[in-house]
A and B are shown apart, each in its own frame.
Chain A
Amino acid sequence: MILIVDLTDPDILVLFDEFVSPIQRIVHQCGYENQVVRIESVKIPPSCTGIIICGTALADTWYRSHHLMSLLNGWTGPILGICAGMQMLLTETGGETVFLTDIGMISIRSTDMGRKDILLNGKDEFSGYALHKYTATLSSHWIALAISDITVQMVKHCSNSWYGALFHPEVRNEWIIERFAALTMPPDYGYE
């Protein structure tokens, strides 16, 4: 079961439609069971095989006053952080927030490491939809899998199957979510 984490402002319910529902629909259409949880109340059930942390609106900064790692409670299985979700993963593992606004379709190129990774394998270049006003620096725990002209667009944790996409893969790059969902299936992922 894939846990989908909603980090949108809880006072603005309509953000769920735009930033969480599309992810849930893709995961469902790929044939994977899923469960949506709010970030404030994340509890990882034993059946969880992977976690997707969704993004949110450009003007939504609610997530920046919340934390993720303590809620994940030792989880080392697959995670895909999308946009704000990637920012949280990076900043809670030693990275620093950087102001950087980008809106619209951008060109993305895989790095050498990206070309070898299971998530991007065979995709040297593609276009992605950017919608962010922040990003984060990479600590030594992370490597860049893909870049645009102005910043790192995809990252992977050095030890765990934790990925981040600064762009929104649910827009025209559903294959990234499909590939991530597929790699949640091996049974050897989970708690330490």
Chain B
Amino acid sequence: MRIGALLSGGKDSLYAAWRMIQTGHEIACFITIQSRNPESYMFHTPNIDLTRLQAEAAGIPLVVQETDGQKEKELDDLKTAIQQGVHEYGLEGIVTGAIQSVYQLSRIERICHQKNLWCFSPLWLCDQESYLHSLVSEGFEVIIAGVFAEPLDETWLGLKIDIPFIERMKTINKKYHVSPAGEGGEYESFVCNAPFFKKKINIIETKTWFEHGAGGYLITRAELD
């Protein structure tokens, strides 16, 4: 099946795409929604501009659609992008990285239903700790690109998701109930390498900020290896 993968730049969207590839499907294009609204429920993530580099690294075309990010209206922009994917790349289905967000998934499911497309969410309700271990063991290189909940502070920004990271998240989860995969918006991630990337992304320059309990790791310059 020819699949369009919704791409935020983070681990969940790219792992979901990888799962589709693993099970015999073709990622015909990525679809990125660039929201100008940092409060967007659906689409805003740090380093969203760099999905272009990820698509290039994977050798997969990218459809980019900008949105003002107004609640519900941004869905029209998503519909436009999906329609473009259907028209240009013959999409038969969409894959999302949704893990627990009914808000996000139900809206994407409705659009897919309207357009007669399959909708896949292979990470849906997964065991988050097992998922993080799969990311590491299957060769994903992922860094923390934003923190938004206690006790995650500026020391976490730029950290690689590896076994020690997973162990720390397990400890924190017990005490603070932070979702191990960051599904509650506790942290955001950025993928530098994936098993289906032909090239790795090297981060050259970054700018970090942290204030009022939230912080970001903005990649200001990066290139393909």
Q: Interface residues, chain A, CB within 8 Å of chain B? A: 12-15, 17-18, 21-22, 25, 57-60, 101, 103-105, 129, 131, 133, 170-172
Given the contacts A57-B120, A58-B112, A171-B102, A14 and B125 also touching, CB distance less than 8 Å? no
In the complex the two chains form, what is the Cα distance from A170 to B124 in whole Å?
A: 10
Number of A-B residue pairs with CB-CB distance less than 8 Å in the complex they form = 64
- Scoring A21, A60, A172 by chain B CB atoms within 10 A of each residue's CB, the highest score goes to A21
Known: A14-B122, A17-B126, A22-B124. 18 other contacts (CB 8 A): A12-B118, A18-B122, A21-B125, A57-B118, A57-B120, A58-B113, A58-B119, A59-B113, A59-B116, A59-B117, A103-B106, A104-B106, A104-B109, A104-B110, A105-B102, A105-B106, A133-B113, A172-B102
Q: Which residues of B contact A170 (CB under 8 A)?
A: 125
Main secondary structure of the interface of A (DSSP, over half): mixed
- B1 touching A12 by the CB < 8 A rule? yes
- B106 touching A25 by the CB < 8 A rule? no
What number of B residues sit within 8 Å (CB to CB) of A? 25
- A17 touching B123 by the CB < 8 A rule? yes
Query: 11 A-B contacts, Cβ less than 8 Å apart?
Result: A13-B23, A18-B121, A18-B125, A25-B127, A57-B119, A58-B109, A58-B112, A60-B118, A103-B113, A129-B106, A171-B102
- B124 touching A59 by the CB < 8 A rule? no
B24 CB within 8 Å of chain A: yes
Q: Which of B13-36 contact A (CB under 8 A)?
A: 19-20, 23-25
In the complex the two chains form, what is the Cα distance from A22 to B121 in whole Å?
A: 12
- A129 touching B113 by the CB < 8 A rule? no
In the complex the two chains form, what is the Cα distance from A174 to B166 in whole Å?
A: 25
Q: Which residues of A contact B25 (CB under 8 A)?
A: 14
Q: Which residues of A contact B1 (CB under 8 A)?
A: 12
Q: Which residues of A contact B109 (CB under 8 A)?
A: 58, 103-104, 131
In the complex the two chains form, what is the Cα distance from A13 to B22 in whole Å?
A: 10
Q: Which residues of A contact B123 (CB under 8 A)?
A: 17
Q: Which residues of A contact B23 (CB under 8 A)?
A: 12-14
- B102 touching A104 by the CB < 8 A rule? yes
- A14 touching B110 by the CB < 8 A rule? no
